[in-house]
Amino acid sequence: MEGSFTILSVQNLSVSFGSKQGFHKAVDHISYDLHQGKTLGIVGESGSGKSVSSLAIMRLLPTPPAKVEATGITLNSESESISILGLSDSKIRNIRGRRIAMIFQESMTSLNPIMTVGYQVMEPMMKHLGYRKSQAFTEAVKILEQVRLPNPEQIMGRYPHQLSGGQKQRIMIAMAISCKPDVLIADEPTTALDVTVQRSIIDLLKQLQAEMGMSMIFITHDLGVIAEVADDVAVMYGGKMLEYGTVNEILHHPKHPYTQALLACRPPINIKLRRLPIVADFMHTTPEGELINTGKGIEEMWLELTVIEQNVQPKSNEPILVVQGLTVNYKQGKHIVNAVNNVSVQVKRGEVLGLVGESGCGKTTLGRSIIRLVEPSAGTILFDKNDVASLDGRHLKAMRKRMQIIFQDPYSSLNPKLTVGYAITEPMLVHNLHHNKLGRRAAAVELLNQVGIPASAMQKYPHEFSGGQRQRICIARALAVQPDFIICDESVSALDVSVQAQVLNLLNELKERLSLTYIFISHDMGVVRFMSDHIAVMKQGEIVEYGEADKVFFTPQQEYTKSLIHSILV
């Protein structure tokens, strides 16, 4: 639909948060226009201010501690203009959800766990449109069909915990579009979703926008997503808007080094890199906060880092791990669920096996069963020629020293009541390493140094760190017992692309320096191909394709593998 007028105008918006130390500016004088029927993509890393700016537009920030200032935030229609900042609380509640709606980032925490999802879709229509309960129910079923949820009448009666991540995200979309808003703000609606689910959500939003004539603000950290959805793009960093233009200008002729860094951080499809570029390769910040350009472009950086193909001999012909016929069954009520079905793989010493597939395919269960965090129902697991399945007591404990795991969510896998220093030294104490407390502390400081975290972190708690820093701490904890083999379970899926690149580079550096072997679990084929020597593709508990990474990636044999590759957002 051709954008005929500016439906939302934001002029010189600033947001500050008060604390004992004074005011911290989270958003610093940003301006943009959203045109009717068009999509504005706002892209940047965590902490750049992109979500805060949208919450300010919705008047959802508590004041205090937030202080919102702007020359103007205006919502327009063909007949009137409304100043958002000038509205009373009761009037903004009538606008919010009716004229401007928002899809929040965390579907699990944004949905009410004690209400059915059906009621949560019905509620805005009863509030804003005056629908009776029966009328709202009928409309809600139609909306669930519109967002392509199966058996909508059954889903109406379910609670959030009974739905998958992709289904919960569709419920959030259904709630947001229930009153046919003029402006839809989508805040990271695809983060941490499987690539195939991510693409289906993007396609759904584009279809709904075309059908309903909505204008959309799409917030993300991923320029691959922006390429799919946006007409115009605003790039944010440190609360400031660094670059603003059409999607073609931003993606093909980026002017700011930060934009170039975001474009370069994702693993490229057509070349193999030794390491991924990071933001520091393109720019750095002075102590005064000034951004300095290093002068390097994307192509120049990729050329420097491209792997030169040579006839390199394999690191080892000897597999450190051999899995044969592994099966894991769960009892669910009267039914037996076959989570992993007759899987056989092997990993050579010093190499990386990429395990890829959608949520629910069994890849995490397979990883956990290999190290006996989940008990296998059948099959053999040989680690360095030792039968893992038969170990118990001190022998299992000794094996666990050599086989470690980095979990998907670094926040929930770290005890919030324990300092980082204790979290890292505790495994050393369990396995009697480094003789005494002083020795363990020195070893923990050295590990933090290896993963790029300062020694001062030893006294701090997990909540005092960013997501990328917490993941580095989890890596340090996994290394604390000097393992030979590590399972990386979706260890970068929820991170910003720039932080993801740093963590992937770190894992590769540690692999080479410490002679580690990995199983790298992910739903992102692009990331798996960058990390892996071999790839195993999982679907419904079975390995459906298995081979050398580039062969699987460039000449896939199975339609399912092709769909995973096709879903990569370039």
HSE at residue 148, side-chain half, CA atoms within 13 A, is 10
Looking at per-residue pLDDT, the higher value among 461 and 47 belongs to 461
Looking at per-residue pLDDT, the higher value among 496 and 352 belongs to 352
Model confidence at 270, in pLDDT bands (50, 70, 90)? Answer: confident
Q: What b-and-e string marks burial along 421-437, b requiring 16 or more CB atoms within 10 Å of the CB?
A: bebbbbbbeeeebbeee
- The residue among 276, 246, 244, 248 whose CA lies nearest residue 262 is 276
User: Using CA atoms, how far apart are residues 172 and 223, in angstroms rounded to an integer?
Assistant: 23
Picking from 105-109, 146-150, 515-519, which range would have the lowest pLDDT averaged per residue?
Answer: 105-109
The single residue listed with the structure tokens 């229509």 is 125
Region 401-410 average pLDDT:
88
Which residues contact residue 119 at a Cβ distance below 8 angstroms, ignoring those fewer than 6 apart? none
Terminal-residue alpha carbon distance, the chain:
25
Reading the block at residue 279, the tokens are 């933001």
- The residue among 437, 441, 465, 440 whose CA lies nearest residue 455 is 441
What is each CA distance from 295 to 235, 335, 348, in whole angstroms? 19, 61, 41
Picking from 42-46, 104-108, 235-239, 256-260, which range would have the lowest pLDDT averaged per residue?
Answer: 104-108
User: Using CA atoms, how far apart are residues 478 and 485, in angstroms rounded to an integer?
Assistant: 10
Using only C-alpha atoms, what is the Rg of the chain? 25
The 8 Å CB, 24+ separation contacts for 198-201 are: 198/225, 198/567, 198/569, 199/228, 199/567, 199/569, 200/148, 200/166, 201/166, 201/169, 201/170, 201/173
Model confidence at 497, in pLDDT bands (50, 70, 90)? Answer: confident
User: Using CA atoms, how far apart are residues 462 and 421, in angstroms rounded to an integer?
Assistant: 10
Question: Which amino acid is located at 335 in the chain?
Answer: H
Q: Taking the alpha carbons of 43, 45, 46, 48 in that order, is the dihedral positive or negative?
A: negative
Question: Which amino acid is located at 489 in the chain?
Answer: D
What is each CA distance from 318 to 367, 384, 434, in whole angstroms? 20, 9, 31
User: Using CA atoms, how far apart are residues 453 and 451, in angstroms rounded to an integer?
Assistant: 6
User: Using CA atoms, how far apart are residues 44 and 51, in angstroms rounded to an integer?
Assistant: 10
Please check the confidence at residue 148 and state whether its pLDDT lies above 90: no
Picking from 17-21, 121-125, 391-395, 515-519, which range would have the lowest pLDDT averaged per residue?
Answer: 17-21
Region 316-343 average pLDDT:
88
Beta bridge partners of 477: none
- The two beta strands, 240-246 and 232-237, are antiparallel
What backbone torsions phi and psi does residue 157 show, to the nearest 5 degrees? -90, 0
What backbone torsions phi and psi does residue 353 show, to the nearest 5 degrees? -100, 120
Model confidence at 249, in pLDDT bands (50, 70, 90)? Answer: very high
DSSP, collapsed to helix, strand or coil, labels residue 236 as strand
Residue 316 sits at the vertex; the CA angle it makes with 312 and 319, to the nearest 5 degrees, is 140
Residues 75-100: pLDDT tens digits?
998 888 899 988 888 899 999 989 99
- Please report which helix (H) or strand (E) contains residue 52, including its range: helix 50-57
User: Using CA atoms, how far apart are residues 431 and 428, in angstroms rounded to an integer?
Assistant: 5
Reading the block at residue 44, the tokens are 């940047």
Picking from 268-272, 364-368, 439-443, 547-551, which range would have the lowest pLDDT averaged per residue?
Answer: 268-272
Please check the confidence at residue 370 and state whether its pLDDT lies above 60: yes
Please check the confidence at residue 345 and state whether its pLDDT lies above 90: yes
User: Using CA atoms, how far apart are residues 149 and 138, in angstroms rounded to an integer?
Assistant: 15
What backbone torsions phi and psi does residue 372 show, to the nearest 5 degrees? 65, 30
Model confidence at 288, in pLDDT bands (50, 70, 90)? Answer: confident
Reading the block at residue 195, the tokens are 């690539």
Region 532-547 average pLDDT:
94
User: Quick one: what percent of the chain has pLDDT higher than 70?
Assistant: 97
Let me know if 213 is exposed, middle or buried by CB neighbors in 10 A (0-12, 13-18, 19+): exposed
For the beta carbon of residue 412, count every other beta carbon within 10 angstroms: 11
The CA-based diameter of the chain, rounded to the nearest angstrom, is 77
Picking from 19-28, 192-201, 257-266, 306-315, which range would have the lowest pLDDT averaged per residue?
Answer: 306-315
User: Using CA atoms, how far apart are residues 446 and 422, in angstroms rounded to an integer?
Assistant: 14
Looking at per-residue pLDDT, the higher value among 291 and 400 belongs to 400
- The two beta strands, 319-332 and 378-383, are antiparallel
Q: H helices within 232-297, ranges in order?
A: 247-252, 257-265
DSSP, collapsed to helix, strand or coil, labels residue 327 as strand
pTM: 0.83
- The two beta strands, 215-220 and 378-383, are unpaired
In 282-318, at which residue ranges do the beta strands (DSSP E only) sit? 283-285, 291-293
Picking from 9-18, 193-202, 216-225, 516-525, which range would have the lowest pLDDT averaged per residue?
Answer: 193-202
For the beta carbon of residue 175, count every other beta carbon within 10 angstroms: 26
Please check the confidence at residue 169 and state whether its pLDDT lies above 90: no
pLDDT at 316: 61
User: Quick one: what percent of the chain has pLDDT higher than 90?
Assistant: 54
